[in-house]
Structure 1
Amino acid sequence: MGDEGVALVELAGVSKAYGGVRAVRAVDFTVRAGEVHALLGENGAGKSTLMKVLSGEVAAEQGTIRIAGEAVRFARPADAQRAGVAMIHQELDLVPALSVAENVFLGREPHARGVLDRRRMVAETRQLLARTGVGFDAATPVELLRTGERQLVTIAKALSLDARILIMDEPTSALSPHEVTRLFAVIDQLRRDGVAVVYISHRMEEIGRVADRATVLRNGEVVAEFDARELTAAQAAEAMVGRPVHLMFHAETRATVTEDVLEVADLVVRPRAGRREPAGISLRVGAGEIVGVAGLLGSGRTELLETLYGAGPKGARSGTVRLRGKDFRPRSPRAALRAGVAYVPEDRRVSGLALEHSVLANTVLSIVDKLTRFGLVPAARERGKARETAGRLGVKLTSLADPVGALSGGNQQKVVLGRALLTEPALLLLDEPTRGVDVGAKAEIYRILGEIARTGVGVLLASSEPAELVGVCDRVVVLRGGRSVHELDTALAGEAELLAASMGDVR
């Protein structure tokens, strides 16, 4: 149907620069009614800037925008919304303290006779949630929802605008396979309704399933357009980076474990509302070994890592945890760091970075105490450590003084990882380390993990991507309902076996 629709969105010659950096260069881009058009490119390729122009968040310096054949100019996002354009951001723009319904209708609350019509707001939100197939109630506070559930709330919010043009930026990055399937069913319905969808994703396996066409940006320019149903991951990757790229990292030699860095036996933590605490987890991580943690959304992956880092609830706990042969029960992240445990959280922009502060400050934050001399931090030592870390991890930046929020997603993730490595940990905990990261940055992060493991650091990596777990890890422990239910040797098992184990189909 997408091939037969009329052009609902037409961008012609659109250009935008930030300072001396041209983010978008004379881009032509169209989306037809009833079409899903994938927009691909590395972090920093110009995808977000182009979509911010379309959604009214920034103004183009050159070029034109036409909606259904009519030239438009958007001074603010509200103008774009009135024209039927809605954008679902990768980084969620929700207010945790408000309910799902209050977030969906924030700033557009229905009123009756001058009074907030809460009953109507909840009823309409429930209808929207039903379209996305979620199981939580409209009155639930957002702060009690997991990341994947919050993503579905943002989709319901966009649907409430009755958008003709829907921009989805990495909409499946935090969703379980079941939720992805449900989302694709919603997108199919939008396609049948004649909605034009711009779909931004780094997950190549999704593009052929959901999109009709795919356009690739590199350095702010359109470099290729494909029939998405025939596009291969290799073709997309080569167009995105301008050279062939190995999408996954595979260790040339498997780790020879001489000692365990981490031993967890029958770990149980008293449950807390909205969380899936460990309810019987056993696993081990050897020195120089990369061990994966798999499981569907709500299986307890994040809660396990937070418990090991001292960031979980301080309630009753049973079972044993040993770090380098000694009993380990950190009361705080600071205590975990002192013991040799570092953590890279799932949401780098909320939990991992101070976005308004410099790359320098964000990089050395974890080792300020070590750098301090007579109560002062020598600037030269600070810059030296940050420059050395940025070089080692291949962080692309103009200056260490730049706000870290100005970097692309992949480079932000490298800063968080670099800060963790500066603590010289014995155990590195990683939660979705390549979420929202392009294929080039993924390959770099996988290379870095291989180097880290070869130095004898134990790595515990939680991920929702079976290909990542199988390609990167020596072993994978599967969680379900807060329990460890299966362990796979990645030399003998593949993605299908891992997914089956996560869903409970273990034979």
Structure 2
Amino acid sequence: MTARLLEVRGIQKRFGGVHALKGVDFDLAAGEVHVLLGENGAGKSTLMGVLSGAFLPDAGTITLDGNLLNLTSPRDAHAAGIVMIPQELDLVPGLDIAGNLFLGNEITRHGVLAGAAMRRKAQDLLARAGVSLDASLPVASLRMGERQLVAIAKALSAQARILIMDEPTAALSAVEADHLFTVVKELSERGVGIVYISHRLEEVTRIGHRVTVMRDGAVVGTTTPDAPQATLVQMLVGRPFSDLFPPRAQRIGAPILQLEHAAFDPDIPRLGWQVPVDISLTVHAGEIVGLAGLMGVGRTELLSTLYGFGISGKWRGRVDVRGKPTLLGSIAAAREAGIALVTDDRRGTGLILSQTVAQNAVMSTLKRVTPFGLVSRALERRQVTRAINDYDVRPRSPDAQVVNLSGGNQQKVVFAKELMNDPGLLLLDEPTRGVDVGAKAEIYRRLRSLAESGLGVLVASSELPELIGLCDRIIVMHAGRTIHEFGPNPSEEAVRRISEGEGLAA
């Protein structure tokens, strides 16, 4: 193993009565990608805050190249070559890429901004980060994956020797994530040490050299990236992987949704969308049905068009809800039919971040809290308090700003909002994206409880272990079509083989 670039020993940190870090040891070698796992509240963010100079530790030492560091501010950390890329990127959408890369460190000549020189230097930095973008492009025009790469280029402009990446793929597509992994590998090969924080266990084997797991402010252990996922889950939550998933349905009810050779004709084609072209599936009351398939096969588009979200058009073929032909194609029609949707982007389309838990939760049930055309705060508070308790949203305050909640608690608010209308069918797109393992287990238990109460659930997920552990049946999609159906407990290899277009005759 290469000599340690960074060593952290015995770091402790308290916030009032909360002992956030309890004598944490951590180290990083030059060129190493050290993955840091842990549930929300495990201490990851506090430790990274100490390393990036945002928090002063109460005890412990930090050394870089064997030399003691005294990090009293982020400026000190930057000067030492330690740069953190937060999950919520600190880029300015109104500026171009070059302006963002040199924000606060602009190049000037005779007191005048040297725009051309900045763009040339910015182009070099982008090339170093493996980014083929024009430095004059406004950041507002970039996809999330491209913004993430710009943030890496910005870190390199600060001469980063240690790069801390907090949930960098949380909002990326599979293609964007693959590109990011390529860039991370190139940086690693150039000797940059990378601390990579993630909730996605499947990323560990793809990106890491070592894995450290934190729980309750302490390091549980460090292992190799090829450790079984079940082992990592045991370290993360203190209980076996199989315990994350509640027992499957013992009995199911009548069909809630029936599609037979159904297709969606958009009014105006949408670039990059794989609309449904031949869908046959059934979701019964009391069961959870999963949608599997490679990225881009049309899972999101199927859920969106059933709900009338994102694109206008009409369905053809058999589309029955509760045994009756139903004209879907708008959100109003979907709600009237008892359909609810939890999108894959809770921060972009699922919630209004600037509003409170109460304001978000009653968004879909305003009629219930406006008996005379005005919002009844008493009715609103009663409904929201019940939802907060039912879904264990923390903190338990209706007045809490949603933007300040953890990812798992934001997702609970989305669920509460969509289910306050008492739908018969719940559509879920990547319902556990960006939440920790403990929050995932809570969501699984809630979904099974809802199914047992008679709700039908249709869920799309990129995580095959999640679909296999949670669902009663799994439907595989390809190119806008349903191509295969599995019963409970299929092997991951079998589902993957069909998803990749192999063994269809089996």
TM-score by length of 1: 0.82
User: Which residue does the alignment assign to 2:124?
Assistant: 124
> 2:346 matched to which residue of 1?
348
The answer for the alignment partner of 2:443 in structure 1 is 445
Contact 1:269 1:279 in 2 (8 A): no
Once the 2 structures are TM-superposed, how far is the Cα of residue 281 of structure 1 from its aligned partner?
4.4
**How many residue pairs are counted as aligned between the two chains?**
495
Counterpart in the other structure of 1:228: 224
CA contact (8 A) 1:151 1:174 kept: no
In structure 2, relative to structure 1, the CA distance for the partners of 1:429 and 1:40 (3 Å cut) is same
Q: Which residue of 2 aligns with 1:304?
A: 302
Pair 1:341–1:94, CA change in 2 (3 A): farther
* 2:248 paired residue number: 252
Provide, for residues 55-102 of structure 1, a one-character-per-residue CA deviation record: whole Å limited to 9, x for no partner: 34x3335245444424242534x5534432233333455566777777
Say whether the 8 Å CA contact 2:119–2:136 is kept in structure 1. no
**What residue number does 1:426 align with?**
424
Bigger mean CA offset, 243-252 vs 339-348: 243-252
Query: Is the CA contact 1:172–1:180 (under 8 Å) kept in the aligned structure 2?
Result: yes
One-letter identity of the residue aligned with 2:338: G
Q: 2:258·2:281 contact (CA, 8 Å) conserved in 1?
A: yes
Q: Cα deviation per residue 1:339-383 (whole Å; 9 max; x = unaligned)?
A: 422221222223223334333333333223212333454444433
Matches within 5 A, 1:32-431: 32-56=29-53, 58-60=54-56, 62-63=58-59, 65-68=62-65, 69-76=67-74, 80-93=77-90, 114-117=113-116, 120=120, 123-124=123-124, 127-128=127-128, 131=130, 151=148, 154-155=151-152, 157-159=154-156, 161-174=158-171, 183-219=180-216, 221-229=217-225, 231-244=227-240, 246=242, 248-249=244-245, 251-253=247-249, 256=252, 258-263=254-259, 265-269=262-266, 274-278=271-275, 280-288=277-285, 289-314=287-312, 316-317=313-314, 319-320=316-317, 321-324=319-322, 325-331=324-330, 333=331, 336-431=334-429
| Amino acid in structure 2 at the alignment position of 1:252 | R
| Structure 2 CA distance for partners of 1:424 and 1:107, relative to 1, 3 Å | farther
- SS state at 2:381 partner: helix
Secondary structure of residue in 2 paired with 1:38: strand
Secondary structure at the aligned position of 2:56 is classed as coil
Structure 1 unaligned residues grouped into runs of 5+: none
Instruction: Assess if the C-alpha contact under 8 Å between 2:4 and 2:27 holds in 1.
Output: no
Report the CA distance between 1:416 and its aligned residue.
1.2
CA–CA separation in structure 2 for the residues paired with 1:267 and 1:146: 26
Shift in CA distance, 97/414, structure 1 to aligned 2, threshold 3 Å:
same
Higher deviation after alignment, 459-468 or 354-363: 354-363
Deviations 1:428-466 (A, max 9, x none): 121211111111211111111112222222222121112
- CA distances 1:134-186 after superposition (whole Å, capped 9, x unpaired): 8x877777667665565555555545554211112233445566665554454
Q: Is the 8 A contact 1:271 1:277 kept in 2?
A: no
Amino acid at match of 2:432: T
- How far did residue 122 of structure 1 move? 7.2
Residue type of the partner of 2:30?
A
Greater shift after overlay, 36-45 or 299-308? 299-308
- Residues 166 and 465 of structure 1: CA distance in aligned 2, closer, same or farther (over 3 Å): same
Using the TM superposition, give the Cα deviation of residue 417 of structure 1 relative to its aligned residue in structure 2, in angstroms.
Answer: 1.0
Percent identical among aligned pairs is 43
- Alpha-carbon distance in structure 2 between the residues aligned to 1:377 and 1:266: 40
Larger Rg: 2
CA separation of 1:146 and 1:291: change in aligned 2, threshold 3 A? farther
| Other structure's SS at 1:280 match | coil
> Which has the larger displacement, 104-113 or 197-206?
104-113
Take 1:144 and 1:281, find their aligned partners in 2: how far apart are those partners?
34
Contact kept? 2:248, 2:472, Cα under 8 Å = no
Does the residue aligned with 1:86 lie in a helix, a strand or coil? strand
> How far 1:229 sits from its partner (Å)?
4.0
**Partners of 2:35 and 2:195 within 8 A in 1:** yes
CA positional deviation for 1:498: 2.7
Following the alignment from structure 1 to structure 2, what is the Cα–Cα distance between the partners of residues 433 and 346? 7
Contact 1:268 1:281 in 2 (8 A): no
- Aligned counterparts of 2:32 and 2:20: Cα–Cα separation in 1: 26
Structure 1 residues 146 and 185 mapped into 2: Cα distance closer, same or farther (>3 Å)?
closer
TM-fit CA distance, 1:414: 1.3
RMSD: 3.6
How far apart, in 2, do the equivalents of 1:382 and 1:4 lie?
Answer: 59
CA–CA distance in structure 1, aligned partners of residues 137 and 491 of structure 2 = 38
Q: CA deviation at 1:425?
A: 1.0
- For 1:105 and 1:504, the matched residues in 2 are separated by 46
SS in 2 for 1:370: helix
Q: Give the AA of the match of 1:127.
A: A
When residues 281 and 356 of structure 1 are mapped into structure 2, their CA distance, relative to the original with a 3 A threshold, is: same
Stretch of structure 1 that moved more, 343-352 or 224-233 = 224-233
SS at match of 1:337: helix
**Cα distance change on mapping 1:242 and 1:260 into 2, 3 Å:** closer
Residue 16 of structure 1 deviates from its aligned partner by 4.8
Alpha-carbon distance change, 465 to 125 in structure 1, aligned in 2, over 3 angstroms: farther
- Aligned mate of 2:498, from 490, 497, 501: 501
